[in-house]
Every structure is written in C-alpha cells, then in structure tokens.
Amino acid sequence: MTQTKHAVEFEECGDSNNRPLKISKIEYDDDGEEEEEEMNNQQRKIQRYLMAIEYIGTRFCGSQKQLTDRTVVGVLEEAFCKFVGQPVSVICSSRTDAGVHALSNVCHVDIERISKRKPGEVLQPHEPAVVKRAVNHFLQKQHGDLMVIDVRCVPSDFHARYKAQERTYFYRLLSGPEPLSTLEKDRAWHVQEELNLPAMQEACRVLVGHHDFSSFRATGCQAKSPIRTLDELSVVEVIQSPYFPSLMDRERQMKVADDLHGCHSNSEAVDTSNEDVGFGKRRFHRCLVVTARARAFLYHQVVERILNAKNVAAASPMAPACGLYLGKVKYDLPSL
C-alpha cells in the first residue's frame, strides 16, 4: 500500500475590494438543478466537505453573504478562494442574524483540486485536516473571530441545510445591578433587575410541543409555515464565566451550579450586594442560560398569551442578538 501526500498550495485571489467574487447561483427549491450539479461533481471529481465553524457574531452582519457587508459566509468564501485559487460557494445549515454567535454552525463546500503547476490537471482531493489548517490560516488574518473547528468528507448529495435533523440554541442572560464586565460585552444580555427563575421555567413548559408560532415570525421570515415542534425549552442558572463554555463544559458547570445553589430556594435570589469581595475583584452577576432545541426555529421568545394570539403585534420587543448562540446542529452522518 502506498501513501500519497498532498502539498498545500495557496494562491491569492483577485482584489476583492475592486469587484465581488463570481459565485454560482444556488436554488434551494429546484431539485432538478441539485441532481444535475451532483452528477457534474462526480464526473469532475469534486469533493464535498462538511465543516463545523465557530464565530463571534459581533462584527458580522449575519451569516448569509451580502454584496457590501461583512458576513460569515463571505469571509469563509474569501478564505477558501485564497486556499484553492478559485471562487467557491459555501452553504450554511443555519442562518444567524447580525450579532448572533455560534459554538458550532455547519456548512458544506465543493472543491475541485486543480494543479497550479500544471493548469488543467485535476489532483486528488485534500485531506480534511489539510483543509482545516489551510482555511484557518487565512481566517486568522480576518480579526480572528471565525474558525473552522472540524472538517470531514461527505457524499456529493449530503446537504448541510436539508440533512440537518435539529438545532440547539442557547441564550445567556446576566442579572444584577452591577455594571457589565468588559469581558462580557456583546456576549450576553444584561438585565439589571433580578429575574424570577421559577416563572421563566414555567413559561418554558407552556411552549414545548407542537404550536403555531405566528406571533413570533419576523416580517421577512422565509419559512413556509409557522407550525413548529419545540422539543426542549429550559432555563437554568449556571456559574458566570467570561468564556461561554462548550457543550461538554456547560454540562459540567451545570452540575457544579446545582451543587452550589442546591441549598437555596429557587424562588429567591441570593443577595450578595453587601458582601465584601476584596480589592480588585468584582461581584458576579447571576447567569441564566435558556436552551431551545427543535427541528427548525423562528428565532423569537414567547409566552402563552402571545402564543395564543397568533399575531406578531402581540409580541414584546425581541431580546438583543448578543445573548444568542447557535450551539449544535444534529445530523445522521454517513459512514465513508
């Protein structure tokens, strides 16, 4: 058995400031075009890669590509272009609005590896580890707020958006009168009033299940139906940390938080406003995390009265985007 090592070749694309990249048009609703594209990919030895990405959404005007504004897909496509030397189209599993963060969003991209030393010669596809390392090399030159965290090869008909089975979101709230830490700026919603955790938990129970979420649709919502099934909606108090943890860290911290707060009544906040925490140390806020898990989202918060109204005018103003995190996209990944 022989092993073939693929060299990583970088090439700068044209000046993106002078003209936008030419991106092939994607029609999500045209099954015929998708099938034709898949056949062409197979004939041309194009490899489809599935990649998980994380990003801080503060400096992004959402995930979808726009002509003039900085977006997640736009920055990713630019990094891939510099890597492979030709324009590519990145398709995201989940669209996030401006200011929304992601612990793990998922995208797919098709790449045909063409030799730069022998134009026209098609080479074997890059290994996933090479793609991850090379794309991150260019992403780190773009504010360092977007990173590829995993890459794998998938069949040409595996679609990051349509193959997603469910999505999990988290929303962070910091409660308390103390000024918000600089390290938490744009990473959570600071509510100066003390929040009633039992009341929030009760409101969550009302919303779990199959409902008409018409009251919470955005004006430009592209979903065909407001009917959604919410599999999980919960709110818990966790230890405040300037770094929002990964899913594994979150589970561990939730257990620690339960141990720390188990001796207190859930209906009463612990008053620490008069405690002396020592010089140079700040008092912590109460940190609450709302978890929502469903097959699709309309991205809005709800209560029973608003839910039953089925009218967007009945909904209160939305919570700010800075506290929202796309946490996980679930797939039944194929075995290769």
How do residues 262-285 score in pLDDT, each as one tens digit?
434 344 444 444 455 455 656 667
As a CATH number, domain 31-154 is 3.30.70.580
Catalytic positions are 97
| pLDDT the model gives residue 250 | 52
What is the rounded average pLDDT of the residues 231-242?
A: 83
The CA distance from 98 to 56, in Å, is 10
Q: What angle, 0 to 180 degrees and rounded to 10, lies between the N-to-C axes of helices 72-84 and 128-139?
A: 120
Q: Is 58 exposed, middle or buried (0-12, 13-18, 19+ CB in 10 A)?
A: middle
Q: And the tokens for 111?
A: 């790449």
- CA angle 22/23/26 to nearest 5° reads 150
pTM reported for the whole predicted model: 0.73
Task: Provide the Cα torsion 24, 29, 32, 33; round to 10°.
Answer: 0
pLDDT tens digit sequence for 298-320: 433 445 666 676 666 666 677 88
> CATH 3.30.70.580 region(s) of the chain?
31-154
CA 324/CA 306 separation, integer angstroms? 21
- The tokens of 10 are what? 């970088």
**CA–CA separation, 170 vs 101, rounded Å?**
10
Provide the pLDDT confidence category of residue 333 given band limits of 50, 70 and 90: confident
CATH for the stretch 166-330: 3.30.70.660
Q: Where are the domain boundaries for CATH 3.30.70.660 in the chain?
A: 166-330
